Amino acid sequence: MIKFFRHIRHSLINQNKIGKYFKYAIGEILLVVIGILIALQINNWNDERKNRAYERKILTLINENLKNDSINLSIELNKSRESNQLTNRLLQQVNSGKYSDSLNNWLGKIISFERFKSQSSAFEVLKSKGIDIISDTELQLELISYYDESVNNVYVAHKDVEESFKKDWEPIIQKEFSDYKWREYAIPNDSKALFKKKPIVNYLRFYKENRSSGEIYSEIALDKISKIRKLSKKYVTD
């Protein structure tokens, strides 16, 4: 093809048809430019097709991670709510001085803490690739907000409760309880004497408040998950 064009140019020069030569040369340049533009466009189309395929794949994986986060967050949130409800009932009984036969089981659930670990592997892969590969800007922002803010808030709130357990309750368990099994039971040496101690009652109230903060952040995180999954629905492969 190149030899063919070169032959035409030489022929025009030899025939002293300079005007036609320049017109032909300009036309040849335009053809080359158009060819390059077409090749670039095809390349862009291919890149875009690959990006959209990757977008669907990574959002499908993130969706699976978020399903698991939603399940695990809900489990821990329900544990926290149950513990706080039992704390309210216990505080009522402290005021009355009459204690339920289920007291030991209540205490087992109250004197504990919640654990949550987000499954963020797919999001980390996305970040390494570049989050701007997600074509929906709102979805980009919601993903960043969930993983970098909401999850961290849940971690911090749970950590506060865990640290309070270790600092406040572990010494009390060793001193004031005859037996303890995680989230099953905690048997005081003397229930009535234990709850006449004001620091113990204060610890119960403080522990409940800490848990309540974790519940708020868990609810916010669950709302974020719901929104992200709704936004990504059109991209996700079931």
Distance CA 237, CA 28 (A): 47
Residue 73 region by backbone torsions, left for phi larger than 0, else alpha for psi between -120 and 50, else beta: alpha
- List, for residues 28-68, the tens digit of each pLDDT value: 666 666 767 666 666 666 667 788 899 999 999 999 999 99
- List, for residues 128-143, the tens digit of each pLDDT value: 999 999 999 999 999 9
Residue 183: inside a domain: yes
- List, for residues 66-98, the tens digit of each pLDDT value: 999 999 999 999 999 999 999 999 999 999 988
Residue 208: inside a domain: yes
What is each CA distance from 57 to 71, 117, 131, 145, in whole angstroms? 22, 23, 13, 21
Please count the structural domains in the chain: 1
Question: Cβ atoms within 10 A of the Cβ of 23, count?
Answer: 12
Residue reference for tokens 């209540």: 106
Residue 237: inside a domain: no
Residue 181: inside a domain: yes
What is each CA distance from 19 to 15, 16, 22, in whole angstroms? 11, 9, 5
Question: Cβ atoms within 10 A of the Cβ of 212, count?
Answer: 13
> Does the structure show a pLDDT above 80 at 197?
yes
pLDDT for residue 237: 67
Report, as an integer, the average pLDDT of 15-26: 55
pLDDT for residue 181: 97
pLDDT, the chain, mean: 88
Strand 177-181 relative to strand 185-188, pairing: antiparallel
> Does the structure show a pLDDT above 60 at 6?
no
CA end-to-end span of the chain, whole Å?
50
Residue 238: inside a domain: no
pLDDT for residue 5: 47
What is each CA distance from 204 to 135, 148, 164, 170, 207, in whole angstroms? 48, 31, 11, 13, 5
Residue 179: inside a domain: yes
pLDDT for residue 198: 94
User: How much of the chain exceeds pLDDT 90, in percent?
Assistant: 74
Mean pLDDT is lowest, of 4-13, 30-39, 146-155, for 4-13
Give the domain extent around 95.
2-231
Residue reference for tokens 């074509």: 135
